[in-house]
Structure 1
Amino acid sequence: MTQDPPPRRKVDRDEVFVEFTKSICPMCKTPVDAQVNLRDNKVYLRKRCRAHGEFEALVYGDAEEYLASARFNKPGTIPLTFQTEVKDGCPSDCGLCPEHKQHACLGIIEVNTGCNLDCPICFADSGRRRDGYSITHEQCARMLDAFVASEGEAEVVMFSGGEPTLHKHILDFIDLALARPIRNVTLNTNGIRLATDKNFVAELGKRNRAPGRSVNIYLQFDGFDERTHREIRGRDLRAFKQRALDNCAEAGLTATLVAAVERGLNEHELGAVVEYGIDHPAVRSVVFQPVTHSGRHTPFDPLTRLTNPDVVRLIGEQRPDWFRKGDFFPVPCCFPTCRSLTYVLVDGEPGARTVVPIPRLLDVEEHLDYVTNRVLPDARVREALEKLWSASAFMATETTDAKLRATAEALDCADTCGIDLPEAVKDLSDKAFMIVVQDFQDPYTLNVKQLMKCCVEEITPDGRLIPFCAYNSVGYREQVRADMSGVPVAGVVPNALPLADRLADTAHGSRTLRPDTVAATAEQTP
């Protein structure tokens, strides 16, 4: 007698489906459908390209935090102008197009593609290339004017590259920015010229004393091990970094240490970088950026990459006397999972520091919760925290100093604080320190939902403001490089207008849209 087979039983999936979104194929950059799933308390993005198959990447190392971050999603601000029309949808219409959800907190101008390093890891793929270019005075002025037209009074412009200090007109470009309604200029550099040319550093210091304006240094600083430098930058730069920072201190310049963090390489150095930054007189903040796998990068596994919550956890593990998980909060102006930060008050001498995160002295969550908080907290404190928890926040600027002071006046310093708060408030420029964790999207992790609220924009020579992660991932960088150099570049955005045509369109106003024309434009768009 034949025995009947056991009845089939349904089984649950090993993951929770959270949302449907759009992304791109990391191979051909074609927009594709994607889904976000939770598995083992981590967040993954999965997508399929008809030509290249299925891809999956880890996008956030803490599923619980990912879901909870929604309440920190601040309503976006409409820019004064848009530069492009809605035609094919995000991410193909950058930018900014009328469907973008946020203005530009930070504008980036890449003045060149040349560099005095050939880093094994470089999202801009800079270095000695035959398709390189440098912008002119006229182009820089046009880019700055496009930024001001979009923002009115802009908060921060960053000059980057390539290596911007190699451009023979970089000081003139900084002067162009300081002559416009732009509050702060940041110079993104590897520090080699700062270490070897004290006259150049002195000229930067002079410009940092302009009334109502500031010039700050955004310095690559990946760690202290020789291996870290050689595998990320291709050579040992430790002595250059030290001299660059010492020269900045002498010239009265403030600096942010910016560490690219790669799993299995320098993740053990995070606490040491924070401590070094707190102790050095020129440093006012540290930014940790999990490595972006676009441009030039070493082999990697997208399922094991570092994400923001991983970096926050490592900081707490390496300096448990200073930090814990709840000290960092999402930044509300961009999509909240993109950036987290905290501010600390510092007292004492090196080796015997008292470090107290401001979120332990003030209920930051109460003020930055835009969804579940039914009672509007103190409006003055909320406005100050919104400016501090922003992509435009840079230490030693008048805006950040003023908002820190307003926040400090609301602090509740219990006996366990360990800091003389009235004295700390008097001298916030020396007592306050900022730590940022920023995970930029790459072709493997790009999520259009996040991209549409990006507030860090690349300003192109033809006057577009393109979200930073789209610029590096979708093909816009290759498009601009091909336009500027005249050399064909693989990965250019399909059907892109040539540069001359886009400039002609912009000159005739057909690609500059004001907010009051958005509705009419949307009606006319098929």
Structure 2
Amino acid sequence: MNEPDTMRPPAPRKTDRDEVFAEFTRSICPVCKTPVDAQVNIRDNKVYLRKRCREHGGFEALVYGDAEEYVHSARFNKPGTIPLAFQTEVKDGCPSDCGLCPEHKQHACLGIIEVNTGCNLDCPICFADSGHQQDGYAITHEQCERMLDAFVESEGEAEVVMFSGGEPTIHPNILDFIDLAQARPIRSVTLNTNGIRLAADRRFAAELGERNRAPGRSVNVYLQFDGFDKRTHLEIRGRDLRTLKQRALDNCAEAGLTVTLVAAVERGLNEHELGAIVEYGIDHPAVRAVAFQPVTHSGRHVPFDPLNRLTNPDVIRLITEQRPEWFRKGDFFPVPCCFPTCRSITYLLVDGEPGDRTVLPVPRLLNVEDHLDYVTNRVLPDPAVREALEKLWSASAFMGTATTEEKLRTAAGAAAEALGCAPDSCGIDLPQAVRELDDKAFMIVVQDFQDPYTLNVKQLMKCCVEEITPDGRLIPFCAYNSVGYREQVRSRLSGVPVAPVAPNALPLTDLLTSTPYGSRTPKPSTASEGDGSA
């Protein structure tokens, strides 16, 4: 006899996942650096990268804090440019064949030469793991020549080379290295520094200033500048450097150098200082740009939660919240030459005196979106303006370079001609601002570099910021810091075996409150949980 229907257990019901599967990609295990399959998922309007290593288990990290912007940015994905030369062959596939290999999708907008691993600081966080270790090295004059020649061979006429480290200003030959770069078809040199020597050695600043006045060449300073609170300095750099930073900037101004302030931004530590950093930069005569870099968990860092980190849209939101009279969300646009979620930029025209500034973002004068949209089928806008905006929204764009000034003048001039803006309608005298761009223009960059937790091969293959190695390779910056190339180069040059830096994050299985992927409660971040830039 059949049981009544009321006695039967209810049929099981299928349930929907709490996330949208966005894409399949490749990444690496953050512990052993083995390439692994990965997936990008969207939930709660945020974008996450998830992967699993057979030996070390599952890992997940937040990679973009605004899923809508992540999807929207695809329109800004510019076709890549083939470099003039490749340095390696395809054997095992990305990210194991750097570089550049023929499968890489972009040339080098910016080449980086690390002249040493020594440093006059031992920061608690440093993606280069620099300082006073026994496995350090400093490159020779001949090695620098070979590295510069490799860059020129790949690029022809290169836009920008950056000398970095370690701390490049303590290398005894750093001025000679700059001379070597200026003797080649490289338009601009950028010096990445903590500013300690610039603060103490006015003659050194003057020497850089002289080279900045070389015909057709420029030298710019990329100055580590994380904020104003003593706690910020102690937790990121291990020392209170506030007085030194001010003295370094004043010496740069005296020497006629253009400076970009570079802030490593950590959740719960210095995120409240972003608006103040921008305002300070606008007011200081040497500063023409600010670069904000959400912390990168490569090299040396302290414990952190990969699910609770700052990303580019979070930084942009903080800037607009802290200076709402100057900024809104639509003022920042993705950079098309790299993968568009990696970097965002805006330019400002600034007038008035400190305390009474008028700030006008250039995207409010020109329809940047139409010019830099490479996917939607539209009539091509003014080619000259588009070419100018492509150069401005590029990893090679640095304030103080002739190229950036020329293209900014073209873009702002087109806006002035089209709008005929008077001071009472724009809030700024636009024609005068175009004439006085040296004093009126300012740039803000937001750059989120990938680390072993967030590395996405899809993004890596379009990287246009390359580390130049002494053996003549051009290795994408995020691969150099994440995959093991840095340790390989350091071992070869120092003669001391260098083990990969052990990760300082919990695996996914320890971060979840239940086994299924559906229930997550990220650990709260604390002020001491974070990383930053070297």
* Band the TM-score falls in, shorter-chain normalisation: over 0.9
8 A contact 1:366–1:373 mirrored in 2: no
Once the two structures are superposed, the pairs formed by residues 148-227 of structure 1 within 5 Å of their partners are: 148-227=152-231
8 A contact 1:23–1:47 mirrored in 2: yes
After TM superposition, give the deviation of residue 172 of structure 1 in Å.
Answer: 0.2
Alignment match of 2:103 (pick from 87, 95, 99) = 99
What TM-score does the superposition give when structure 2 sets the normalisation length? 0.91
After TM superposition, give the deviation of residue 205 of structure 1 in Å.
Answer: 0.6
The residue matched to 2:253 in structure 1 has which SS? helix
Q: Which residue of 2 aligns with 1:490?
A: 499
Alignment match of 1:25 (pick from 5, 24, 29) = 29
Alignment match of 1:249 (pick from 233, 249, 253) = 253
Q: Which residue of 2 aligns with 1:521?
A: none
Letter in 1 for 2:34: T
CA distance in 2, matches of 1:81, 1:31: 26
Is 1:433 the counterpart of 2:442? The answer is: yes
After TM superposition, give the deviation of residue 3 of structure 1 in Å.
Answer: 2.2
Once the two structures are superposed, the pairs formed by residues 407-426 of structure 1 within 5 Å of their partners are: 407-411=411-415, 412=419, 413=421, 415-426=424-435
Is 1:457 the counterpart of 2:476? The answer is: no
CA distance in 2, matches of 1:322, 1:410: 22
Is 1:63 the counterpart of 2:67? The answer is: yes
Aligned length: 492
The residue matched to 2:159 in structure 1 has which SS? strand
Is 1:85 the counterpart of 2:89? The answer is: yes
Letter in 1 for 2:458: K
CA distance in 1, matches of 2:349, 2:125: 33
Is 1:279 the counterpart of 2:288? The answer is: no
Alignment match of 2:388 (pick from 369, 384, 387) = 384
Letter in 1 for 2:446: V
What TM-score does the superposition give when structure 1 sets the normalisation length? 0.93
Is 1:347 the counterpart of 2:378? The answer is: no
Q: Which residue of 1 aligns with 2:476?
A: 467
Which segment drifts farther, 271-280 or 410-419?
Answer: 410-419
Q: Percent identity?
A: 85
CA distance in 1, matches of 2:60, 2:431: 51
CA distance in 1, matches of 2:304, 2:7: 51
After TM superposition, give the deviation of residue 177 of structure 1 in Å.
Answer: 0.2
Alignment match of 1:128 (pick from 110, 114, 132) = 132
8 A contact 1:470–1:476 mirrored in 2: yes
After TM superposition, give the deviation of residue 491 of structure 1 in Å.
Answer: 2.8
Is 1:333 the counterpart of 2:342? The answer is: no
After TM superposition, give the deviation of residue 373 of structure 1 in Å.
Answer: 3.9
CA distance in 1, matches of 2:64, 2:150: 34
Q: Deviations over 1:257-306 (max 9, x none)?
A: 00000000000000000000000000000000000000001111000100
CA distance in 2, matches of 1:417, 1:33: 51
Is 1:49 the counterpart of 2:58? The answer is: no
Q: Which residue of 2 aligns with 1:258?
A: 262
The residue matched to 2:250 in structure 1 has which SS? helix
After TM superposition, give the deviation of residue 14 of structure 1 in Å.
Answer: 0.1
Q: Which residue of 2 aligns with 1:309?
A: 313
The residue matched to 1:353 in structure 2 has which SS? strand
Q: Deviations over 1:450-495 (max 9, x none)?
A: 0000000000000000000000000000000000000011139xxx
Q: Which residue of 1 aligns with 2:141?
A: 137
Q: Deviations over 1:339-371 (max 9, x none)?
A: 001001000000000001000111000100000
CA distance in 2, matches of 1:373, 1:207: 46
Question: Which ranges in structure 2 are unaligned for 5 or more consecutive residues?
Answer: 502-534
CA distance in 1, matches of 2:475, 2:338: 14
Q: Which residue of 2 aligns with 1:324?
A: 328
**What is the RMSD computed on CA atoms of the aligned residues?**
0.9
The residue matched to 2:356 in structure 1 has which SS? coil
After TM superposition, give the deviation of residue 196 of structure 1 in Å.
Answer: 0.2
8 A contact 1:284–1:433 mirrored in 2: yes
